[in-house]
Structure 1
Amino acid sequence: MLFSVFKIRTYFNLIYDDVSIWCIVFDCCFSTGAWEQDYKAYAGNIISQYNETYPESSITILDFRDGEKVSRITSALSDYDIMIMDYPRHYEGCPLLSMEVIHHFVKSTESWLSVAQENILIMHSELGGWPVLAFMVAALSLYRKNVAVETKALDMIYKQAPNDLLPMMSPMNPLPSQLRYLQYVSRRNADSEWPPAGKALTLDCVIMRMITDFDGKGGCCPVFRIYGRDPLLHIDKTPKLLFSTPRRRKNIRYYNQVRRP
């Protein structure tokens, strides 16, 4: 059984080719502000309800948190015998995770759900973590072959949240990158290596559909930076600055919105 995040907001049933996955979405996942209620009391009450309803079940919680400090869910459930696995809330500022982490996530969750029908998997996120949680639920659905189309997997999760929530939580549109990473998951059987090895990236162009008005005249002078692994150092996986627009004035162009007739 698969559940998602904390303080009940709504129930929804995801049906993929006659396979149902029941999810429970909680309010704090959709919140961008401070949590006003007694989090420990509420989280403990939810776990107690699960234990009473499913006495034979075992619970594992996957927590998408930011930073290294102890998360709220870990502190709130410290008195319970529950395994909590921590995952990051973003990768280099984008609400998705690296392929190595995605691989660990889908393998471990699939194993947990397959061990026993009674096992319960709860996915929880800190404030602002809804985009990466939605992405990871979609990745798990593709990995388990509950759905075969990446856009369908992502849309069925995202539509459970208010339409204006994603722009409030992410300064960039994460959907193109999330769909590209979901394609890696859905095509895993076609690849000889999983997760796929890193490949050199060739950037031909950058398309800016919306130009930020920094100067009051409808335009700006953007500086691009590209981060990634050093292609010459295969052991070191730490992202490094691979390219940056030179700061010399003659190299920085001015862009503004195209005026349409």
Structure 2
Amino acid sequence: MALFRKFFYKKPPDGLLLITDNIYVFDHCFSMKEMEDDHFEAHIRGIAADLLENCRDHSFMVSNFGTRKEESPIYHILSEYGMTVLDYPGHYEGCPLLTMEMIHCILKSSESWLSLGQHNLLLMHCEKGSWPVLAFMLAALLIYLGQYSDEQKTLDMLYKQSSLELLEIFSPLNPMPSQIRYLRYISMKNVMPEWPPADRALTLDCVILRMIPNFQGQGGFRPIFRIYGPDPLMPPDQTPKVLFSTPKKSNLVRFYSQADELVKINLQCHVQGDVVLECINLYEDLDREEMVFRIMFNTAFIRSNILMLNHDHVDMLWNAKDQFPKDFRFELLHMLQQSLLFIKRNKDLGLKNLLRS
């Protein structure tokens, strides 16, 4: 209960949940009930009117997660009340996380806003389906501001303010392992000379699976991999792309039995920045697929030539843990790219030779 002593010690305005003295969350974000558009607008306008009436000498900034390309409904409503509303995405390539660059931007702007004085309040909100990234960003902000230091407990505390069923509805995979990985990146702020560190370009050489999971009830599975992220050979364009996808009709695809204690699969994929790696079980018809696990990581924080994870460190389907052996381990071997320019020149040279032939 010690974690909760600093929380909820005074009554917040109606419709808001108090996180710290100057950070609030719209409480309907914690609910599984969906409001109709008209009811939602009336609800938000009521909260805004109460805030302006009871906190006349305060200023408000709202961080809203889950927005796509257009401005959010809450942006249009609260802007009428003179509130600054900042819209952010609700995921990165399907993961309820954001890029390290965007996380840093949100944390810095929030810290700057709150540091201007006690009369500056930060309100946090999410669109339908984006509760997991809101919970993550709340935990990230509390850790960044030095309110808490234990990544796991901080994230657990916030998720417990709602039903676990809400998290499962919005995220088919348990996102907490990757979220905790990113919270630990944030915790490194006080021990690194430069934070966040500059992105490093890596070549993902291969993956090693130790102790094979059991899918399809056949005592093994048929793994394929997909890797998403910005193309390190096109640095101006940070839009995530499919950087690697196992060809389904190739000798790379085969069934591995649990009798195979170790499986090594080559990748040879260049990555830089925020990377999503998916391991997928491909059915025998080479058409149907089932997610086995997913990880998201940032190359700037990789300090050795291997990333080793057990079944507690990968995002998997909520009911799939029993399909993984207790000693399951996933190893991602990689090497530092000494010169992206060298790689790009070789790539361009190969293209020129192909055009000449």
Please confirm whether the aligned pair reaches a TM-score higher than 0.5, indicating the same fold. yes
Q: Which amino acid aligns with 1:89?
A: G
Larger Rg: 2
Q: Which amino acid aligns with 1:174?
A: P
- Secondary structure, counterpart of 2:207 in structure 1: coil
The reply on whether 1:205 has 2:197 as its aligned counterpart is no
Q: What is the aligned length? A: 248
Retained in 1: the 8 A contact 2:62–2:124? Answer: yes
Retained in 2: the 8 A contact 1:40–1:75? Answer: no
- Summarize the Cα distance change of 1:125–1:86 in structure 2 as closer, same or farther, 3 Å threshold: same
C-alpha distance after superposition, 1:194-248 (max 9, x if no partner)? 22222326453358997664xx868764432011233334333222322211221
Seq. identity, %? 43
Retained in 1: the 8 A contact 2:89–2:98? Answer: yes
Unaligned runs of 5+ in 2: 1-6, 258-322, 327-357
The TM-score normalised by the length of structure 2 is 0.61
Retained in 2: the 8 A contact 1:226–1:243? Answer: yes
Unaligned runs of 5+ in 1: 15-19
- Summarize the Cα distance change of 1:54–1:255 in structure 2 as closer, same or farther, 3 Å threshold: farther
The reply on whether 1:61 has 2:62 as its aligned counterpart is yes
1:55 shift after superposition: 1.0
- Summarize the Cα distance change of 1:198–1:122 in structure 2 as closer, same or farther, 3 Å threshold: same
Q: Which amino acid aligns with 1:136?
A: M
Match of 1:194 in 2: 195
What is the CA–CA distance in structure 1 between the aligned matches of 2:203 and 2:144, rounded to whole Å?
Answer: 25
Structure with greater strand share of residues: 2
- Secondary structure, counterpart of 1:139 in structure 2: helix
- Summarize the Cα distance change of 1:131–1:11 in structure 2 as closer, same or farther, 3 Å threshold: same
1:112 shift after superposition: 0.7
What is the CA–CA distance in structure 1 between the aligned matches of 2:194 and 2:57, rounded to whole Å?
Answer: 38
C-alpha distance after superposition, 1:58-103 (max 9, x if no partner)? 1111111231122121232342111101111111110011111011
Retained in 2: the 8 A contact 1:29–1:128? Answer: no
Match of 1:143 in 2: 144
Aligned-residue CA RMSD in angstroms? Answer: 3.2
Q: Following superposition of structure 1 onto structure 2, how do residues 158-169 of structure 1 map, counting pairs within 5 Å?
A: 158-169=159-170
The reply on whether 1:102 has 2:106 as its aligned counterpart is no
Q: Which amino acid aligns with 2:238?
A: K
Match of 1:76 in 2: 77
